[in-house]
């Protein structure tokens, strides 16, 4: 099943490993993974030492899911790619993710991916928010079931760990689409 999903999404394992090695050679804590090769890549909040890696990968746009208080774009990044901020709450915030906010986030991701690929999507650590948006994107735009998208994303991005509440919002999105 995972092989089928990878083929369906154009994922080539050797390409994913190469990207990870390139990124790790520049900064060991900067682990990034292709969700959809040459289209969407996921990782943590970039720092100035990561700009070169993002440029080498051809990143044209970045979708930040962080609130400004969590981090701002590193100096120099705005001159090399388009930066969009659409902050979403994670499990540490006192308010929850809403269906409307998730729909807006995947629409922004889809828009950027259509106009200026590849897109780098991030939150602080790429554990909850950015994986949640990628899961919703895979379900909504690629037709995957929630469990298929989760299984796939955990394989290509092992730190994926959306909360049960975030998964419920994704499931609500899938049900609204149906």
Per-residue pLDDT of the chain (178 residues; tens, 9 = 90+): 556 666 667 765 545 444 554 455 444 468 899 999 999 999 999 999 999 999 999 999 999 999 999 999 999 999 999 999 999 999 999 899 999 999 999 999 999 999 999 999 999 999 999 999 999 999 999 999 999 999 999 999 999 999 999 999 999 999 998 8
Number of domains in the chain: 1
> Which among 168, 161, 149 has a CA at the least distance from the CA of 99?
168
- The per-residue pLDDT for 6 is 66
- The per-residue pLDDT for 178 is 82
CB atoms closer than 10 angstroms to residue 21: 9
CATH code, 26: 3.90.190.10
Phi-psi region of 73 (alpha: psi -120 to 50; beta: other; left: phi over 0): beta
C-alpha 43/C-alpha 125 separation (Å) is 7
CB atoms closer than 10 angstroms to residue 178: 5
Give DSSP secondary structure letters for 50-66: GHHHHHHTT--EEEE-S
Residue/partner pairs of 140-146 with CB below 8 Å, 24 or more apart: 140/106, 140/173, 140/174, 140/177, 141/106, 141/110, 142/8, 142/9, 142/36, 144/5, 145/174, 146/170, 146/171, 146/174
- The per-residue pLDDT for 30 is 83
Cβ proximity of 45 and 22 under 8 Å: no
C-alpha 48/C-alpha 46 separation (Å) is 7
Show the domain range for 147: 2-177
């Amino acid at each position: 099943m995972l092989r089928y999903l990878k083929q369906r999404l154009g994922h080539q394992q050797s390409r994913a490993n190469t990207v990870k090695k390139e990124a790790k050679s520049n900064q060991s804590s900067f682990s990034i993974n292709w969700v959809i090769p040459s289209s969407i890549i996921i990782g943590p909040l970039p720092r100035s030492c990561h700009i070169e890696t993002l440029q080498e990968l051809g990143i044209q746009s970045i979708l930040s899911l962080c609130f400004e208080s969590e981090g701002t774009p590193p100096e120099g990044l705005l001159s090399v790619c388009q930066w969009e901020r659409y902050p979403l709450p994670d499990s540490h915030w006192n308010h929850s993710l809403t269906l409307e906010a998730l729909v807006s986030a995947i629409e922004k991701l889809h828009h950027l991916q259509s106009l200026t690929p590849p897109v780098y999507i991030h939150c602080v650590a790429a554990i909850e928010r950015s994986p949640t948006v990628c899961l919703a994107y895979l379900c909504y735009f690629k037709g995957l079931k929630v469990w298929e998208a989760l299984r796939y994303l955990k394989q290509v991005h092992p730190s994926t760990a959306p909360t049960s509440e975030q998964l419920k919002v994704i499931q609500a999105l899938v049900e609204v689409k149906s």
